Amino acid sequence: MDTMRGDTIGADAPDVAAIAAAHRGSRAALIAILREVQAARGYLPEDALRAVARHTGRSLVDVYAVASFYHSFSLKPRGRHTVCACLGTACHVRGGQQVVEALSRELGVRAGETTPDGEFTLETANCLGACALGPVVVVDGRYFAKVNPGKVRRILSQARSGVAAPEAADGERALVTEAVCPECGRPLLDAARPIDGYPSLQVSAQCNGWRGRARISCVDGVLDGAPENAAALERVRLFCPHCSAGLNDLLRCGECGVPTVSVLAGDGALVQMCGCGEQRVRRAEVEGAGARREIAQLS
């Protein structure tokens, strides 16, 4: 779809009119319309919300209620980079709050605010779905695991010089090139024992009374070395071979519903692995830069 950029928009908001028209001004499409408007303008300014109300035949207060309810909509201009720190339970107990405080000290803004120079928007989330890696900070779609206040400055300077966004987009397949135990930090990838030509993930596994070493293919997530019935990671508990920390996620595979294992790929993408062969990049549900990209790809 053809949407104009934010700066040149007149009072009658032709860009919003075009987006609403593409949805035939449908009342049910409100969220979709707001997402597209935010993608085009970077945020949801007042004139755009008024135009959305006009073109969808809703009252302004309805549109405003939706726009102010969802975390992913922003009524204020956003920074070039989005820094999102997790304050979910798992990250919180490992010091997520201190990480947020360090970030906000470094940037001079509170959570939810944007720096005056328009560089950074600081956000918090209530679980980014990578609890085993906590405290988690996501910068422009790139995951940083096990963050502590001491690492904050380096992450920000990395962000300033532009973190390369993960190569694969949300939902795309990705190849894990680097994986460490979120608990002890020791490497899980073993280049010496490749499967399908790629280093494999070394784990301890436990399943129906059986317990032993196993390897997970980084190509298709299939568990190797466990009894036949465990091959699909189903009902298998996975542990770090070094420190025995649990590696299973709370997340479930979108394809088969089995709990997955999350690891970081070399480029900072969070990859969810499942023995059914699913291996997808999961993007944090932080909008802003990342989401803008994602929407840009859709349209």
Among 122, 128, 179, 251, binds ligand FES (CB under 6 A): 128
In this structure, the strands spanning 237-239 and 210-216 are unpaired
Among 64, 120, 143, 239, binds another protein (CB under 8 A): 64
Length of the chain: 299
Q: Are 128 and 141 in contact (CB under 8 A)?
A: no
* Piece in contact with another protein (CB under 8 A), picked from 1-9, 58-66, 133-141, 194-202: 58-66
Tell me the closest approach of the beta carbon of residue 101 to another protein, in angstroms. Answer: 19
253 binds, among Zn ion, ligand FES, another protein, none (CB under 5 to 8 A by kind): Zn ion
Question: Among residues 157, 140, 87, 94, which one has the least CA distance to residue 289?
Answer: 140
The two three-digit tokens of residue 108, written as one number: 């001079």
Question: With binding defined as CB under 8 A, does residue 159 bind another protein?
Answer: no
64 binds, among another protein, Zn ion, ligand FES, none (CB under 5 to 8 A by kind): another protein
Among 39, 136, 152, 265, binds ligand FES (CB under 6 A): 136
The two three-digit tokens of residue 89, written as one number: 């339970």
Question: With binding defined as CB under 6 A, does residue 90 bind ligand FES?
Answer: yes
Tell me the closest approach of the beta carbon of residue 2 to ligand FES, in angstroms. Answer: 37
218 binds, among Zn ion, ligand FES, another protein, none (CB under 5 to 8 A by kind): none
Peptide bond into 135 cis (omega under 30): yes
Question: With binding defined as CB under 5 A, does residue 184 bind Zn ion?
Answer: yes
Question: With binding defined as CB under 5 A, does residue 188 bind Zn ion?
Answer: no
The sheet that has 137-139: what strands, in order across it?
120-125, 81-86, 137-139, 142-144
C-beta closer to ligand FES: residue 19 or 137: 137
Q: How far apart are CA 221 and CA 208, in angstroms?
A: 20
Among 40, 216, 274, 281, binds Zn ion (CB under 5 A): 274
DSSP assignment of 191-224 equals: EEEEETTEEEEEEEEEETTEEEEEEE-TTT--EE
